[in-house]
Amino acid sequence: MNQLEALKQFTTVVADTGDFKQLAQFQPQDATTNPSLILKAVQKPEYLPLLKDTVAAHGKAPMDEQIDRLLVRFGCEILATIPGRVSTEVDARLSFDTQATVARAKRIMALYEAQGVQRERVLIKIASTWEGIQAAAELEREGIRCNLTLLFAFCQAVACGDAKVQLISPFVGRIYDWYKKSAGAAWVEADNAQANDPGVKSVTAIYNHYKRHGIATEVMGASFRNVGQITALAGCDLLTISPDLLAQLAATDAPLHRVLDAKAAATLDLPAVHFDEATFRYALNEDAMATEKLAEGIRAFCVDAVKLEALMR
């Protein structure tokens, strides 16, 4: 049994890609996309026809609608190759507008349903700002399931749990990146690997909190830099992994054991925690890493959204 097969015994494996032609070889349950991954995909010759077809059919529609139609086209292609769910992202430029996020999410879901896709197979990805979390709470009440992304801080995870969102995506690799850059020459890789990796520690704390307090929101570790970060989170509800790292897992038969365990977490002595808007904003502000990486992530997705629009023009 290789490590990918072993991991699937404990954790739902999700492919993090817009390159749906790669999916079959890894047999993931679910798949996630984002503007950067779709932008990367449509610049390949084999995916450019999807963009051209969308423009040909809907070129007179407003650009934001054309983008949503392209994202849904990719999502439908992905769903044809996996048994589970696909995550499709709301425009990051709406990250601080609750009602605009709700409206855009409803349109994306309507486009999927018009293609015969049941809403249970779609997760709407929204940035984990306060406004995004409130939008997700409203959408969940209406039966539209959400994946809260760009999640770096414990307070974001707590607020998402209170909002009863379906799933969160804490970003392991980007947390690791920030601490490594911050430490500079003082960084010792061996001292910050596996369970000591700052991104791994963040996801572990969130997972344990959720399981201890019976929070149903699924935890999906994301944004991995190496296989060690993945194996250190074996047992997490889900892990979304790039094709390159999926291939590395499939290529090794080194032993892999469960690390995170819901039953063990349920026995931990962890206090209940809740945030209102003011205490959420203060807690996020006090976390320099989370503040910087959330802002950086939104900016990067916005840049790629603009580039995607330019390609469609």
- For the stretch 270-287, pLDDT in tens is 999 999 999 999 999 999
Distances (CA, A) of 143 to 97, 112, 232: 20, 14, 33
pLDDT in tens, 234-272: 999 999 999 999 999 999 999 999 999 999 999 999 999
Q: How many CB atoms lie within 10 A of CB 59?
A: 12
Catalytic machinery residues: 125
Q: What is the phi/psi pair of residue 220, to 5°?
A: -125, 100
Number of Cβ within 10 Å of residue 2's Cβ equals: 13
Q: How far is CA 120 from CA 84, 180, 261, in A?
A: 9, 38, 26
Rounded to whole angstroms, the Cα distance separating 30 from 206 reads: 21
Q: How many CB atoms lie within 10 A of CB 216?
A: 9
Is it the case that residue 206 has pLDDT exceeding 90? yes
Task: Record the tokens describing residue 150, joined without a space.
Answer: 């760009």
Question: What confidence score (pLDDT) does residue 19 get?
Answer: 87
Tell me how far apart the alpha carbons of residues 137 and 52 are, in angstroms, rounded to a whole number. Answer: 35
**H-assigned helices in 80-193:** 98-114, 130-141, 154-162, 172-183
pLDDT tens track for 152-171: 999 999 999 999 999 999 99
Amino acid 307: pLDDT: 95
pLDDT digits 0-9 by tens, 31-67: 998 888 899 999 999 999 999 999 999 999 999 999 9
Structure tokens at 261: 């365990």
**Topology at the third CATH level for domain 3-312:** TIM Barrel (3.20.20)
Residue linked to tokens 């492919």: 15
Give me the pLDDT at residue 160, please.
Answer: 98
pLDDT at 8 over 90: yes
Kindly give, in sequence order, each residue whose CB lies less than 8 Å from that of residue 188, ignoring residues fewer than 6 positions away. Answer: none
Rounded Cα gap, residues 213 and 220, in angstroms:
18
Cβ contacts of residue 80 below 8 Å, gap of 6+? 20
For residue 100, the model assigns a pLDDT of 98
Band (95; pLDDT cuts 50, 70, 90): very high
What integer is the mean pLDDT of 91-96? 97
- Gap between the Cα atoms of 218 and 207, Å rounded: 9
CA distance 213 to 177: 30
Element (H, E) at 212: helix 198-212
pLDDT of residue 131: 98
What is the chain's mean pLDDT, rounded?
96
d(CA 80, CA 143): 23
Find the Cα–Cα–Cα–Cα dihedral 202, 4, 224, 306, rounded to 10°: -130
Tokens matching residue 28: 């993931």
The type of residue at 198 is P
Neighbours of 218 (CB within 10 A): 18
Rounded to whole angstroms, the Cα distance separating 191 from 201 reads: 13
Domain residue limits, the chain: 3-312
Which residues have a Cβ under 8 Å from the Cβ of 61 and sit 6 or more positions away?
69
Give the pLDDT confidence of 114-153 residue by residue, as tens digits. Answer: 999 999 999 999 999 999 999 999 999 999 999 999 999 9
Residues, the chain, total? 313
pLDDT tier, 215 (very low <50, low <70, confident <90, very high otherwise): very high
User: Which residue type sits at 210?
Assistant: Y
